[in-house]
Amino acid sequence: FELDLAPGVKASKVTNISRDLARSMSMASVRVVEVIPGKPYIGIEVPNSSREMVRLTELLETPAYRDPNGLISMAMGKDISGNPVLTDLAKAPHMLVAGT
């Protein structure tokens, strides 16, 4: 969700009530994103009840991966909008990647 705050309301106030928001939506937790680049809103991320598997082949077949701007493109996954997230490994030599 994207929220447009009333004038004078700080994003930190929404962050402080994130547990109350989660409880009112019957969720275990919600994540408040105080800055969405390029937008004047704050975001509230709610866990998806049905998870979607992100396949590596799906990321490797995207035009962004096939026509890379960097030296060593690396597929990281998808963002919350479903767009592929790529990075140039040459620009991130100290990156730590973990997960299951």
Average pLDDT value over all residues in the chain: 88
| % of the chain residues with pLDDT over 90 | 48
Q: Is residue 31 domain-shared with residue 60, that is, in the same domain?
A: no
pLDDT in tens, 12-53: 999 999 999 999 999 999 999 999 889 999 999 998 878 788
- 50 occurs within a structural domain: no
23 three-state secondary structure: helix
Q: Is residue 41 domain-shared with residue 61, that is, in the same domain?
A: no
Number of separate domains in the chain: 2
Domain that holds residue 40: 2-45
- 64 occurs within a structural domain: yes
- 51 occurs within a structural domain: no
Starting at the edge strand found earlier in the chain, the sheet holding 42-45 runs: 2-3, 42-45, 31-33
- 100 occurs within a structural domain: no
- 22 occurs within a structural domain: yes
For residue 71, the model assigns a pLDDT of 77
Q: Which CATH number is 32's domain given?
A: 3.30.980.40
For residue 90, the model assigns a pLDDT of 85
